[in-house]
Structure formats: C-alpha cells, structure tokens
Structure 1
Amino acid sequence: MENNFAKTVLDNGIRVVTERMPHARSIAMGVWVNVGARDETQEESGLSHFIEHMIFKGTEKRSAVQIAKELDAIGASWNAFTSKENTCYHAKVMDNYLNTAVDILSDIFLNSVFNDKEVERERQVILQEIKMLEDTPEDYVHVLLARTMWGGHSLGRCVLGTPQNIANFDSKTIRQFFKRAYQPERIVVSAAGNLNHARFVELVARTFEVVRRDDNFPQRLSPVMNKGITTQPKNLEQVHICLGIKGVSATDPRRHACAILNVILGGNMSSRLFQEVRERRGLAYSIYSFLSLYSDTGMLGVYAGVDKSNLQKVFEIISSQIKELKEKPVTASELKNAKQYLKGALYLAAENTENQMTRIAQTEINFGRYIPLKEAENEIERVTHENILELSSDIFHSEFAITLLGPIEDDVQIRQMVSL
C-alpha cells in the first residue's frame, strides 16, 4: 500500500491525490475544500454548512431527486460534512462506477444552482438541525466549551451557525461566499481504492480545471485561549461537563506525544479516567478525553455526564489524574499499550477505502505531502516517557476552560466545586 500513492497538481492549482488499493472492490472519492466555520465572519457564520446542504439540491442538469436516484442506483454511499476548517463532499462506489461518481460529484460541486425554493426549504431543515443539537446535551456542551474557550474567535462559533443568520441567508449570499471561498488552491480531490491514478486525473481534470483563482479571501487568524467557567442551567437528569485546555496543532511535532497522552488520560476503556471514574467508582456512564486539532492550535479536553451529587467527586478525580501526569512519568506498560492502541487504529483504518481517502486528503491539506503509514508508526514509537512528562507539564500549567450544562442553580457554589 505504501508505494501506491500518487499526486498530480492541475494547471489551476487543484491537487489530486490517490491511493491504489488493488485488493478492494470499492473506490471512495472526496472533494475537500480547506474552508470551514473558522473562515466565516460573525455575519457569515453557518454559510459553509448551508452550502454543504445545498450542494445536493440541484444543478443545471440534475434536480435534487435525480442526484439522489442516480447515486442510489449505483449502490453508492454518499454524504458531506462541514468542520471548523474543512468541507468535504464524498461518495463510495463499486470500482466499475467510478466514472459515474466523478461525473455526479463534479456536477454538484461545480454547477449547483442554489435555487431560491430549495434554499428556503433547506433553511427549515437546518433550523431543525440546530434545535436537535441543542436538545442533545452530550453534543451541545462541546459547542458551549468552544464558545467559552475561543471566545469571539471564529473557532468559538458553532458550525451550524445561529438561527438569526440561517433565517437571513439567501441564494445570492450563498453564491457569493461559494465563489469567494472555493478557490483552487484550497481544493483537494482524493480517492482511494481499486483505481488507476492517471485515469482518475483524466476524469477529474475534464471538469475541475474550469475553476479559476480569486485571491479575495482572508487569511486565518490564530486564536487566543480563554479561561474560566461557564454554566448553563437546563432541566436535565445529568450535569454534562466539558473542560478544555490549549493543546497542540495538527502539524505540531509533538502531536503523536499528545495523542498518546490523550489515550492514557481518557482515550479508551483502559484509560485512567475511564477506569477510575466509571469502573472503580461507578460515578459516570460516559467519561472520556479528546483532542481537537486545527492548523495553528488545538485543544485537549475531557467530557463527563454525571449526577449532580457526584460532580465534585468527578472533578477531584480529574484534577488528581492531571496532577499526577504533570508530576510523574507514565508507566512503561501504559506507554507501550497506548502506542499499540494508536498503531492498531492506524493500520486497521487503512484497510477501509473511505478512511484512506480521508487520510491522504488531510495529510495533503496539513503537510502538503503524503505521510506513509510506516513513517507515522515510527513517529509514534519514538515518543518517550520524558516526552509525555514534558508535554503534560507544558499543557497543564494553566487553567482550564470549563462548561457545565444541566440542573445547576447556585452558580457560585458550582464554580467553587469545579475549580481545577
């Protein structure tokens, strides 16, 4: 697999990357745009996600129903997503349907009409999606944490936007943002599976070479982390807590050490937090740590859903585990097992064409090159106890941003209870 990667840059700057997986019968293709929620102004917040919805709602030659029928007729698995920094339109098909997949994905990406009636219809869908998010506390508390941690920076805004913005967007606004943001140098077309690179480039170039450059798009500004505690009372059975601290970026040389630190802290079922909070004490059903990595910054966070009566106990455990990671080296077995966990996840994911399509696109966006699996494995293996201790001391030296969502009334008492 390591020697089956290929890359071509089209004349307009669009990058085409592929990974040939001859044992597979499928091909996963994605059109990636290095544009997301952080690239929007406050007034534009939600536009990237709105565009993601509208891309499938009709082109100059296909209606929304025709797009769905043609993809379903070839047994395709297809979708799209928007994150803080990227938007992706993707499909997975049997290898004999690659031509059809390229034709449809290129059509919706390049020729969407953003019809007024479809915009109005999809507006209602997105407003319901916002309400659904707000009704899902284990997800919504992450949105609140980002708002607390990144403040007024665009990383602190919800990808879905605000109801006020969604209500105001029209087809003209959507077209203008699309034209301004979807520039060739920000686009990566990736594919993995049983395919030939030269043939794939030929198919892609026929349509994507029409995209023209427009330099009128602002550069990203790095955020400053905010500290403090935010509480949001809501009539729920549990208190959902989320805390975050500035971590490393997606390209930081310490990212592998940070991934290992995350695994040991709360990244799997044998982690310190999971074992102590859930398995030994039964204080929570769900508790985990997580990483959010961006191009120029990052976050290491912890989530837990707990009964209000257990809130202080859980925070005391989190605090003690973080203190121990700052002061003592992790054990040899913890380090070894965390490395094996990450390497296993890396190689198991590589057997899936969708995962490989995603991986080669993300490494191209973040590093401008392909990173072989063996290179990533070696970087994981090089991490030492000293690296973990040094990183822990560096990351955990400052205060956390903390958000609580649930049945909390006495704000002062809560703040005293959860201070780390």
Structure 2
Amino acid sequence: MPSSVLLGGTATSRRNRQPVTVPSSAFLDGTVRRTVLPSGLRILTEDVPAMRSVSFGIWVNVGSRDEAEGEGGASHFLEHLLFKGTARRTALDISAAIEAVGGETNAFTTKEYTCYYARVLDADLPLAIDVMCDAVASSVLAEPDVETERGVILEEIAMTEDEPSDEVHDLHAELIYGEHPLAKLISGTVASITPMSRDGIHEFYRSRYSAPVMVVAAAGRLDHDQVVEQVVAALAGTPLDTGSASPVGPRPMETPVLYAEPKAVTRRKDTEQAHLVLGGPGIGRRDDRRFAVGVLNNVLGGGMSSRLFQEIREKRGLAYSVYSYTSQYAETGTFGVYAGCAPGKVDEVLEIVRDQLARAAGEEITEEELRRGKGMLKGALVLGLEDTGSRMTRLAKGELLYGDLLDVDDLLRRIEAVTIADVTEVAHAVLTGPEYLAMIGPH
C-alpha cells in the first residue's frame, strides 16, 4: 500500500495556531483515500456523497493479548477512562458536545485492538474530530475517575458472570489457549482490576498508544483533505504529534500457537439451562481458506436453514438458541458450536453436534448448501456496508489487521470462487482437530 509524500500545504493548529505540514494522499480506489502523517499515523477516508452522516473512528492496535503480567484488563480499563476528561474538556463536556448535535460516541475493546468512534451529521464532523482526538490523545486519567470506573468495570464483570451464554465463550477460549495471551479475558478479572493503579494504567496508555500503531478512519459525506487537516490540527502538541516514524504493520501470523491439552470443563451454576460450547482451533484471519470456512460455518450453524438449527431446534425442539461461529486472530482462530438447552438434554444435544461435525468433516456438502452458504456470506458483506459505521470499520480493519484493502467486488469474487472441494478440505482440517468442551449449568 503506497505511503504519502510531503507537500507544501499547511493547516493551522487550534492548540498553538502554528502552521503544520499536511502530507498528500494516495487513492486506494475511486472513493477511498489514504494519508500517512510523519508520525506514522494513518488516515483513511471513504467519501459517500449520498449520505448525510459521517462515522469517525480512532483505532489502536492494542488489546487484551498485549497486556503483561499485572495488566490484565488494562486495555478495557483505558477504554473507559479516555472519555472521562482532558485538560480541555470534562467528561460532561465530551459527551455533551457530541449529543448537542445529535451525535453519538462509543468505544470497544477486543483481544487485538481497541476502537473509539463517533457518528455525527456531516456538518459536525470537525467537532467530532476535535473531541475524539482530544479524548484519545490527551486524557488526564484523574485518580477519582480511575476509582469510579474501577467500580463500573467490576459491575460489568459481575454482569457477564450473570450471563452464562456469554461467559461460556470466555471459558471455551481459556480451555483452547491455556497460557497463551489469547486466553486472557478482555475485561480482566476482579483480582487484576481491583489492585490496578492509576500510574500503572497511565504507563500502559503512554507506552502503548503511539501514532505508528494507530489508524484514523472516516466514512460518509466528507472531504479527505479537510479530514487530514482537522486531524493534524487536533493532534498538534499532543503525545501523538511526534517525530518521524513508520507505521507498524499487521501482527505477524507466523508465530506458532501452543494449544492447551484437549479437555471438557463444567462450571457449576444454578441456572435453568445448560450452556455449552464445543469446538477447537480454527484458522487465522489472513489464511486464504477463510472464505471456505465462512461457507462451512453458514452450512453448519449460520442460520435457520443450517444443519444444526434444523436438527436440534426445528426437528427435535431441544434448544432455542444453537449456532456455530468462527473467531479469527492474527495467527490462529476458533471454530465452535454453542447451544443452550435443558440440563437433561445435554447428552442428546452433544451427540447431535458431534455427529454433524463428523459428517461435515467426512462428507461433501451439497451444491445447494454451497450456493446458500456463499449467498449468505455475500449478502452479509454487502448489506453490512449500508451504513457509515460499517464502512469506517472496513477501512480501519483493512489497514490495521490486513495491511491491505480488498474492494468489495474482489471479496465477492473470492467468495464466489469457493468450491465444494475447498469446503471439504478446510472442514477436515478444522473439524478433526482436538476437541474442547466448555459447559456452564447446574451439573
């Protein structure tokens, strides 16, 4: 992906009113442009003239897997704190500024990245850029705010523990990845959050949030050059306004993952249903077989017409919720099946799930299933781009996670190129590996 070269254009910093050099941009296609600032910060935009809104996001290539000993949950803790105030704005100022123009702000943390975003009317984009850049680059992390958010996060952890249908997925990841960083809980634990100090969070913030590992993305009715000028001005004089540096590329995918020994674990809770996840290691996000895995997932448990839904819910009424899913990371992934059922029906549900996984691993899917599985993938891709938030996310993930931006037509062609043989091969590779079973319920 081409970088930018410096031109003579300038923008004026709102912070110190000094002119700053604005780099030129490169076109990735007719509507998507990319600029790399001298600091290594990348800015990508997609102009969608027919829309009257803009989604603006700041993405950081840091997540729970990057946390060292004693930092469990620091990424998520920081996500909460960055909206709590800067030298220029209080927490109320930040939220009120965006809400006063009918916009919204939010953030989320994953195992591999964190995102802060706002969605506003196109005319209010300069305001959103200034507010979001200020929050992400210049948060003060005041001690009282740390204590307040510590309580909020502990309540969030407790809420997750009251939702076994969510908790069981965390337990399943812990079984697969063992001591690997991907096993870490995004929220952290009560034991890691309770003693975490303000200074420790601040050190994590300043050491991990650097321009080369960050991407700014915006989609909607906008002008790329103006977005770049506004971002440069908003970040001038902040810790993200640094000297010359090159962007950090996607995480390496060559590092082997040592999985834990296959096992089955039940976490006893007094629930009405038993919640189970059965599955094992999958493939990484940059594996060319990901399109075939997507088709396989749709055939097995991706919708109401899938094999698992038909066999377990429609024919036998054994569960209300049953589905298969994939989680993909830099060098590995997960393929799993979830079901929630009455405790007395667990054995029967597991028998059906195992039978369906074995059939998929040993037999070819039908032409009709292939057509339907590809159609679901293509429809989800295209329909998912109907709003500015999805378009903004596509830009950021392409840059941050893949180092490339495949256009929609190319993605559709790669999905359409999947054959029955491709699905058969990847099914055998993924579904015949070690098996991990996580259950939560009154067992």
Please report the TM-score for the alignment, with normalisation by the length of structure 1: 0.94
Amino acid across the alignment from 2:320: Y
What's the secondary structure of 1:168's corresponding residue? coil
What do the CA deviations read for 1:330-360 (whole angstroms, capped 9, x no partner)? 1101100111111111111111100110111
What do the CA deviations read for 1:160-188 (whole angstroms, capped 9, x no partner)? 00112211112211110011111222100
Distance between the aligned counterparts of 1:255 and 1:42, measured in 2?
32
Per the alignment, residue 300 of structure 1 pairs with: 335
Q: What is the aligned residue count? A: 406
> Among the aligned pairs, what percent are the same residue?
40
Per the alignment, residue 257 of structure 1 pairs with: 292
Amino acid across the alignment from 2:122: D
Per the alignment, residue 154 of structure 2 pairs with: 127
Per the alignment, residue 284 of structure 1 pairs with: 319
Distance between the aligned counterparts of 1:164 and 1:326, measured in 2?
41
Contact 2:176 2:259 in 1 (8 A): yes
Per the alignment, residue 144 of structure 2 pairs with: 117
User: How far is the alpha carbon of 1:7 from its aligned partner?
Assistant: 0.7
Equivalence map 1:11-410=2 (5 Å): 11-208=38-235, 210=238, 211=240, 212=242, 222-226=256-260, 227-408=262-443
Distance between the aligned counterparts of 1:88 and 1:192, measured in 2?
15
User: How far is the alpha carbon of 1:150 from its aligned partner?
Assistant: 0.6
Per the alignment, residue 416 of structure 1 pairs with: none
Distance between the aligned counterparts of 1:172 and 1:46, measured in 2?
15
Distance between the aligned counterparts of 1:222 and 1:145, measured in 2?
20
Question: Quick one: structure 1 residues 389 and 139, their matched pair in 2 at CA, closer, same or farther if it must change by over 3 Å?
Answer: same
Distance between the aligned counterparts of 1:349 and 1:338, measured in 2?
17
User: How far is the alpha carbon of 1:42 from its aligned partner?
Assistant: 3.3
User: How far is the alpha carbon of 1:2 from its aligned partner?
Assistant: 5.9
Contact 1:29 1:189 in 2 (8 A): yes
Ranges of 4+ aligned residues in structure 1 off by more than 6 Å: none
User: How far is the alpha carbon of 1:244 from its aligned partner?
Assistant: 2.4
What do the CA deviations read for 1:220-274 (whole angstroms, capped 9, x no partner)? 8653222211111111111100122111111111111111111111011111101
Contact 2:134 2:235 in 1 (8 A): no
Please report the TM-score for the alignment, with normalisation by the length of structure 2: 0.89
Distance between the aligned counterparts of 1:222 and 1:179, measured in 2?
29
Contact 2:398 2:406 in 1 (8 A): yes
Stretches of structure 1 lacking an aligned partner (at least 5 in a row): 409-420
Contact 1:28 1:90 in 2 (8 A): yes
Amino acid across the alignment from 1:374: D
Distance between the aligned counterparts of 1:207 and 1:14, measured in 2?
13
What do the CA deviations read for 1:111-145 (whole angstroms, capped 9, x no partner)? 10000001001100000000000000100111111
What do the CA deviations read for 1:278-330 (whole angstroms, capped 9, x no partner)? 01110000000111111111111111001111111111111111111111111
Per the alignment, residue 414 of structure 1 pairs with: none
Amino acid across the alignment from 2:175: T
Distance between the aligned counterparts of 1:331 and 1:397, measured in 2?
20
What's the secondary structure of 2:194's corresponding residue? helix
What's the secondary structure of 1:295's corresponding residue? coil
Distance between the aligned counterparts of 1:321 and 1:53, measured in 2?
42
Aligned-pair RMSD on alpha carbons? 1.7
Greater shift in the superposed pair: 243-252 or 25-34: 243-252
